[in-house]
Amino acid sequence: MNPLLERLEPQVKELLERIPQPPFREPMLATLARRGPTGRGWVFERKLDGERCLACREGPQVRLISRTGHLRNATYPELADALLAQQEDDFIADGEIVAFRGQNTSFSRLQERIGITDPEIARGSGAPVFLYLFDLLYLDGYGLTRLPLLARKEILEHAFPFRDPLRYHPHTDRNWEAFYGDACRMGWEGVVAKRAAGHYTSGRTTEWLKLKCIGRQEFVIGGFTEPRGGRAGFGALLLGYYENGKLLYAGRVGTGFDERMLLDLAGELARRETAASPFSDRRMRERGEHWVTPDLVCEVAFAEWTPDHRLRQPRFVGLRTDKAAADVIREMPG
């Protein structure tokens, strides 16, 4: 047995599961909340602005797997190299791939890497990436998902030397309001609260809560408007989310794009153009509007929702390739 597992307290060690390394499983996902949890037994982490990833190694084979099960080795070859260089050779860890703009993680900066499938082009892209690990699901023949979170994180912290581009994601047990306040003042996306004794379960859970400093979530692209003036590509994206199997209109976003994104995305939209509106509650077409097959997902930051269920002051952040359009719903804080 791995020494890190051998030295666990007996009551924790008995929760280990002797199993072969499992195939891909859906990661554990946090639920949006208005306020942090009350009482003891919670820890808090910085909410990172990147691409969720399971880091798996089984002997000489390394896999970086997105939350939708897609292999990302060619997009982030230096991260695959870092995992292959570790002394531990049988593990599954959970983490986030990020790029930085200044001191803060930036999903828009990560867009320079997302979509690249040639390792050499990825290495020369000029957008350094890092993999922050915050959980450990499997190690040397044993499943750890039934262990308490803090036990899993302690094993994780000592399993790797954590040299760039591999980083350990720390936590704190500070008062959530103070930590959240500091996070927002420093320009972080938000914080994640996790139950210290919680197990690791796939899918959305209230054992993990996310508190965002600004409104931000994924939306389905259901159409676009024609550009005006000297603008290239398109004017704005028409956004929606699913509710009871119907795509509902959430408004349009026309800011946050650079010229390259305008042109690249315009090409994707043109290939998807269709005559019928995908929105169940918005069938009228205004001048300059076009509909598209609703299979592209983007992330948008916004100030708030209006009383008529539209986005106020939306800003495009980037395309999401790690979430299916059918899974996009309006996130309502509990």
Active site residues: 47
CA distances from 69 to 72, 199, 242, 255, 292 (A): 9, 22, 22, 31, 25
Rg (C-alpha) for the chain, rounded Å, is 21
Q: Which residues contact 122 (CB under 8 A, 6 or more apart)?
A: 74, 75, 76, 77, 113, 116
> Alpha-carbon distance 51 to 38, whole Å?
29
Cβ atoms of 213 and 333 within 8 Å: the answer is no
> Alpha-carbon distance 236 to 227, whole Å?
8
> Alpha-carbon distance 106 to 100, whole Å?
5
Cβ atoms of 142 and 17 within 8 Å: the answer is yes
Note the residue count of the chain.
334
> Alpha-carbon distance 123 to 114, whole Å?
12
Bridge partner residues of 304 (DSSP): 312
